Amino acid sequence: MSMRIGYGWDSHAFEAGLPLKIGGITIDHPEGLAGHSDGDVLLHAITDALLGALAVGDIGSFFPPGDPRWKNADSAIFLNLALEELQTAGYRIVNVDTTLVLAAPKIGPISGDMRQRVAELLDILPTAVGIKAKTPEGMGLNHVAQAHAVVLLEAIDDTDGISLLEAEIDDPKTVEKVVSELVGEGRGGGKSRRMVPLPEFDTEDIT
């Protein structure tokens, strides 16, 4: 089974008057993260980790920061494109581990909600998503949020499993039932791939 590892990192400065969005959820905080899109530092890092694992570039290659189409865009759009690249390449996510580095707000009380949302966006189980938070002690970065992300991918190869089933199970009806269940599982660890509804953007010329 072919495996790949990807690493992503991103940072954004805090700015008054902006909504704070991290990990796909909106957080009650007096400042948000400045960026060309919605500034979701965690989703940006995960997107880069996925693209890096596939060696197809980074988030800026697909969504240039100077392009007005991505002004204030939902970062889930970027993540969805990385997932499409993943599916095209024939890989699925095994697990994701992330670390947020920021002085405030406290991530611990909302880490469960954040894990749930990231898992939903990636179409994997929350148990396959790690979210940790650290403070930037002694780094002079109290007004910045950083995110580190690591992903593990495995190649999808259902044909070997189907051949094995056909060889070991004599009952054709049993084979058909098991194969149907395997196909139905898709690449999301027990559920079919479902793209999260997103705002409409014209991405035909960037894929």
Model confidence, pTM: 0.76
pLDDT computed for residue 164 by the predictor: 43
Q: Which residue has the higher pLDDT, 141 or 100?
A: 100
Statement: residue 198 has pLDDT above 70: no
Tell me if 151 sits within 8 A of 96, measured CB to CB: yes
Alpha-helix runs per DSSP H in the chain: 41-54, 59-62, 76-89, 111-122, 158-168, 172-185
Count Cβ neighbours within 10 Å for each residue of 36-72 and write b for 16 or more, e otherwise.
Answer: bbbbbbbbbbbbbbbbbbbeeebbeebbeeeeeebee
What are the pLDDT digits (tens) for 103-141? 999 999 999 999 999 999 999 999 999 999 999 988 888
Task: Read off the pLDDT of each residue in 176-189 and give the average, rounded to a whole number.
Answer: 50
Domains of the chain: 3-185 (3.30.1330.50)
